[in-house]
C-alpha cells in the first residue's frame, strides 16, 4: 500500500466459498490452476482460495469475494502482460535481462512491477502489478529479489 506495507493476510481472515457458477468458468478459463489436476482444481479451488485469503483479505471491506475476483479479471484484461511482452519481442523460449522485462511491463503500468524468478533457477515465474486497496490506482511494487538482476532470465514456453 502507499505506506510501504504489503497488503496480504489482513484481519479478519475472510471465509472462502467455492465457486460453482459462471465465475467458476471465467476463473477456470482466465486464471488457470496449472499446479493441480483439473478435477481437483475445479472442486477444491486451491489457487483462488490462496489468493483470496492472501490478498482479498485486505480489501474485504470494499469487495466481497465475487466482486474481488471480477475486479481481478477486469484488471488482468486491462494489463495483458503476455501481449505486452510479445509487443516488446519478449517471447517464451528465450532469455532476457531483468531490465528488458521490467521496462516492457512499465510501458503499460507506468510504475515498477514485481518481477519474480523461480527458486533455484533464473526463470520468469510471475509478474506482479500493485494497486491501492481500492484498486483505483497503481503503485510501485516492492521487489521480491528472487531474480539475479545481473543474469538473463529465461522465459519458459
Q: Which residue in 35, 40, 43, 51 sits closest to 18, CA to CA?
A: 43
What topology does CATH give the domain 2-78? Ribonuclease Rh; Chain A (3.90.730)
> Is there a shared CATH topology between the 2-78 domain and the 81-155 domain?
yes
pLDDT band at 46 (very low <50, low <70, confident <90, very high): very high
What topology does CATH give the domain 81-155? Ribonuclease Rh; Chain A (3.90.730)
E-strand ranges in the chain read 94-96, 114-117, 124-128, 130-131, 138-139, 153-155
**Domain extent listing, the chain:** 2-78, 81-155
102 CB-side CA count, 13 A: 17
pLDDT digits (tens, 9 = 90+) for 71-117: 999 988 888 899 999 999 999 999 999 999 999 999 999 999 999 99
Q: How far is the C-alpha of 79 from the C-alpha of 47, rounded, in Å? A: 20
CA angle 148, 130, 28 (to 5 degrees): 95
DSSP 134-149: TSSSEEPPPP---S-T
pLDDT at position 69 is 95
Amino acid at each position: 500500500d502507499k505506506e510501504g506495507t504489503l497488503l496480504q493476510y489482513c484481519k479478519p481472515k475472510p471465509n472462502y466459498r467455492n465457486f460453482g457458477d459462471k465465475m467458476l468458468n471465467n476463473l477456470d478459463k482466465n486464471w488457470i490452476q496449472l499446479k493441480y489436476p483439473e478435477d481437483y482444481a475445479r472442486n477444491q479451488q486451491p489457487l483462488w482460495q490462496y489468493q483470496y485469503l492472501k490478498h482479498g483479505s485486505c480489501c474485504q471491506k470494499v469487495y466481497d469475494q465475487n466482486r474481488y475476483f471480477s475486479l481481478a479479471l477486469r484488471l488482468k484484461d486491462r494489463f495483458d502482460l503476455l501481449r505486452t511482452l510479445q509487443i516488446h519481442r519478449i517471447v517464451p523460449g528465450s532469455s532476457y535481462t531483468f531490465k528488458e522485462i521490467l521496462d516492457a511491463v512499465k510501458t503499460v503500468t507506468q510504475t515498477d512491477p514485481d518481477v519474480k524468478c523461480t527458486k533455484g533457477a533464473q526463470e520468469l515465474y510471475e509478474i506482479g502489478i500493485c494497486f491501492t486497496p481500492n484498486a483505483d490506482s497503481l503503485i510501485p511494487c516492492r521487489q521480491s529479489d528472487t531474480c539475479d538482476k545481473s543474469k538473463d532470465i529465461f522465459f519458459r514456453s
